[in-house]
Chain A
């Protein structure tokens, strides 16, 4: 597979997973939450300081449609990840060259 196609495909798959497939994710509590319920310490959990953020819990506040809300949040997350992780790793890899 050539380079360009590979990167486009990788990003496309990520966008589809976060933007479309995410709607079908199981809404059951995860392993840790379930354990906390079973054992009894689930009540110790406190809201995150950013619990009121417009994207909290993978939904865009104000967007009524659940499918759209989680999908938009997912795509926004992917975009931020591309910038932060993609940009960060590129900078990290470039550094030694600049020094030489």
Chain B
């Protein structure tokens, strides 16, 4: 879902760029508090892994493909702040090295994939953790659902950006319906990759999984 340059006009891109800088700054502060020398290497590895898996576009039918966003996965493994930073680093490297996602669109992409992707997953995962039994398999179920939902939510983020700064030739309803259904399907792929990765980490190194070891807090408290 990397937005190229040109889809969204420059002023809107600049506004979302500023919002993304602010969001990343909050997470820099949060991650500095949260990460210790044990968790930091895992955050790095998660970013590396997300970069690698994002190279794998999987088919979702009708001549369309999708790939992992990774926000929910990173959130469950290393917490929301480090997750925002991990996905942001992936997006910066992709935009600068591989011309994947526009340069002026970087703020738009960080907003949707890092900020919206991670925080929507965080809130949903937090709610699910309150409801689900306190067993390890709940972490996998919660990851699955949070990952699935985070993708169409991020797609709606794009629709919002399009509403503000996209071409006025095309109706917003058409943009929404073209985006939403496909991204629910991509979300299912996201959910399986996320649940599989979380479950293999739970069985090998559960001591490292934020979504399992973190104390229960209200879902909106950071």
Q: Which A residues have a C-beta under 8 Å from some C-beta of B? A: 1, 6-7, 10-11, 13-15, 17-18, 21-22, 24-32, 34-36, 38-41, 44-51, 53, 55-58, 70, 73-74, 76-78, 80-82, 84-90, 92-97
Query: When the two chains form their complex, are residues A50 and B64 in contact, meaning their CB atoms are under 8 A apart?
Result: no
Please give the number of chain B residues whose Cβ is less than 8 angstroms from any Cβ of chain A in the complex. 69
Chain B contacts for A17, CB-based, 8 A: 49, 52-53, 55-56
Q: Which B residues have a C-beta under 8 Å from some C-beta of A? A: 1-7, 28, 31-33, 35-37, 39-41, 43-45, 47-49, 51-53, 55-60, 62-67, 82, 85-86, 89-90, 93, 95-103, 155, 158, 166-167, 169-170, 174-175, 178-179, 182-183, 185-186, 204-205
Chain A contacts for B95, CB-based, 8 A: 48, 50
* B114 → A minimal CB distance (Å): 13
* Interchain CA distance A95-B32 in the complex, whole Å: 8
Interface of A is mostly: helix
- Return the 8 tightest CB-CB contacts between A and B, nearest first: A86-B44, A93-B40, A85-B47, A35-B178, A46-B6, A26-B65, A18-B52, A56-B99
Query: When the two chains form their complex, are residues A39 and B175 in contact, meaning their CB atoms are under 8 A apart?
Result: yes
Query: When the two chains form their complex, are residues A13 and B178 in contact, meaning their CB atoms are under 8 A apart?
Result: no
**A57-B98, A89-B41 as given contacts; A28 in contact with B55, CB under 8 Å:** no
Chain B contacts for A14, CB-based, 8 A: 45, 48-49, 51-52
Chain A contacts for B174, CB-based, 8 A: 38-39
* A25 → B minimal CB distance (Å): 4
**A32-B179, A48-B102 as given contacts; A86 in contact with B48, CB under 8 Å:** yes
Chain A contacts for B47, CB-based, 8 A: 81, 85-86, 89
**A21-B56, A41-B7, A51-B99 as given contacts; A86 in contact with B45, CB under 8 Å:** yes
